[in-house]
């Protein structure tokens, strides 16, 4: 298993997009649960919830089986239902919009800020209608969304807020509150590429005990805490997180600060190694006191650069990269269901057409970053020269 601080690799070794940091603490934690015989709904569940809530400064937390499950339950908890509209970002992972559809509500997209790549509060305000029930800002790529602006909008129009913080563990707002600590339900994801992983998993942080009780029940088939084994007083789901996963999560929390610091180190290496490439846009620097919780390193290629060819060139050099993220409204399901077309959200579409995720993980060495930068420079130059020649 990889450890923090692992050194550089042979130059011909392939470099993956992401790689979790797992070690003896995780092995021990999982083995303990296996030996205890209580693999689900055991003591690790509450321990993980308590430790996670404390970590982000939230009053309460509910562990769930995935970020998607958390978004679904959080939207239900704030009252989103059939016919409602939920305003969200088209530049996100598809789950943030899908979660509204699970409840027969409609995700209504608004364009993004070209610098932070987060939902633009003015565009969101313009999209509010009589049917709007909730705002669902996404802290994309770990950069804090402008929550004070969304909170003002929600107050003025009587809307609920659910935050998609799946990519944002470790991020902090300018007012010093960590992402997930503001009180509205905020949803984190623990898939293997995230800042903290439980393999699959998620967490909803929140402030209201009544909402926690509702989410705890709905993740467990609608069972009330004081009810008998097979009595259910509402519709529910199986969105539970096993004690094995919770134990992994607790162990990962123990190394979170170190992993976040390593991610920030790798990001700083990239920033230096990629400086001066004409037209290449790097992730925005922290501004006005907001602090990113580093999740991915996504660049925007220069206008006119051939992204597919760049991906192929990097792959030929043993370097994984991925167009990330595609615009949700232009996915075939969303086009067919809602009639979305190109041109609706020009900032998002421009960003989505040029975005490329580069390898990014805590153990990445300076040498690996340098190799990616060298190959990317060369690929962009080749592609540019070929375009000129044609």
Residues that bind ligand PLP (CB under 6 A): 66-68, 92-93, 95-96, 138, 164, 166-167, 189, 191, 202
Q: How far is the CB of 354 from ligand PLP (least distance, A)?
A: 19
Q: Which is nearer to ligand PLP, 129 or 238 (CB)?
A: 238
Closest CA to 270 of 257, 283, 279, 260: 283
The count of C-alpha atoms lying within 13 angstroms of the C-alpha of 5, restricted to the half-sphere facing its C-beta, is: 2
Is position 194 annotated as part of the catalytic site? yes
Q: How far is the CB of 175 from ligand PLP (least distance, A)?
A: 22
Q: Which is nearer to ligand PLP, 305 or 358 (CB)?
A: 358
List the end-to-end C-alpha distance of the chain, in Å, as a whole number. Answer: 48
- What is the C-alpha separation between 276 and 278, in angstroms, rounded? 6
Q: How far is the CB of 257 from ligand PLP (least distance, A)?
A: 22
Q: Which is nearer to ligand PLP, 196 or 379 (CB)?
A: 196
Among candidate residues 76, 139, 182, 194, the one labeled active-site is: 194
Nearest residue to ligand PLP, by Cβ distance, number only: 67
Please give the structure tokens belonging to residue 8.
């550089």
Q: Judge whether 18 and 360 are in contact, CB under 8 Å.
A: yes
Q: Which is nearer to ligand PLP, 284 or 370 (CB)?
A: 284
374's CB contacts (< 8 A; 6+ apart) are: none
Q: How far is the CB of 93 from ligand PLP (least distance, A)?
A: 4
- What is the C-alpha separation between 293 and 304, in angstroms, rounded? 30
Q: Which is nearer to ligand PLP, 201 or 362 (CB)?
A: 201
Q: How far is the CB of 36 from ligand PLP (least distance, A)?
A: 26
Q: Which is nearer to ligand PLP, 93 or 334 (CB)?
A: 93
Q: Which is nearer to ligand PLP, 44 or 194 (CB)?
A: 194
Q: Which residues are catalytic?
A: 194
């Amino acid at each position: 298993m990889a450890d923090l601080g692992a050194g550089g690799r042979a130059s011909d070794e392939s470099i993956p997009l992401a790689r979790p940091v797992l070690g003896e603490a995780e092995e021990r934690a999982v083995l303990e649960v296996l030996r205890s015989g209580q693999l689900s709904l055991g003591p690790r569940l509450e321990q993980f919830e308590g430790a996670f809530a404390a970590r982000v400064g939230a009053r309460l937390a509910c562990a769930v089986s995935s970020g998607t499950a958390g978004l679904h339950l959080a939207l239900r908890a704030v009252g989103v239902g059939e016919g409602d509209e939920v305003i969200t970002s088209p530049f996100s992972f598809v789950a943030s919009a899908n979660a509204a559809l699970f409840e027969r509500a409609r995700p209504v997209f608004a364009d993004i800020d070209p610098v932070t790549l987060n939902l633009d509060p003015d565009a969101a305000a313009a999209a509010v209608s009589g049917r709007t029930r909730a705002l669902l800002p996404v802290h994309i790529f770990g950069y804090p969304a402008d929550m004070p602006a969304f909170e003002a909008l929600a107050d003025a129009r009587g809307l609920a807020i659910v935050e998609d913080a799946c990519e944002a563990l470790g991020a902090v707002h300018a007012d010093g509150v960590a992402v997930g600590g503001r009180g509205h339900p905020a949803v984190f994801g623990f898939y293997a590429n995230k800042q903290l992983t439980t393999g699959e998993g998620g967490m909803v942080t929140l402030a209201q005990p009544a909402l926690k009780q509702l989410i705890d029940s709905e993740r467990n088939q609608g069972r009330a805490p004081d009810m008998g084994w097979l009595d259910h007083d509402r519709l529910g789901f199986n969105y539970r997180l096993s004690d094995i996963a919770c134990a992994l999560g607790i162990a990962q929390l123990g190394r979170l600060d170190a992993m976040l610091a390593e991610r920030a180190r790798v990001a700083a290496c990239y920033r230096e190694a990629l400086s001066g490439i004409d037209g290449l846009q790097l992730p925005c620097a922290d501004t006005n006191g907001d602090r990113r919780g580093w999740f991915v390193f996504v660049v925007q290629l220069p206008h006119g650069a051939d992204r597919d060819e760049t991906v192929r060139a990097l792959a030929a050099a043993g370097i994984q990269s991925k167009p990330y993220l595609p615009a949700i409204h232009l996915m075939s399901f969303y086009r067919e269901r809602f009639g979305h077309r190109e041109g609706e959200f020009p900032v998002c579409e421009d960003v989505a057409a040029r975005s490329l995720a580069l390898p990014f993980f805590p153990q990445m060495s300076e040498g690996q970053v340098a190799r990616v930068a060298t190959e990317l420079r060369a690929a962009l130059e080749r592609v540019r020269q070929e375009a000129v020649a044609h």
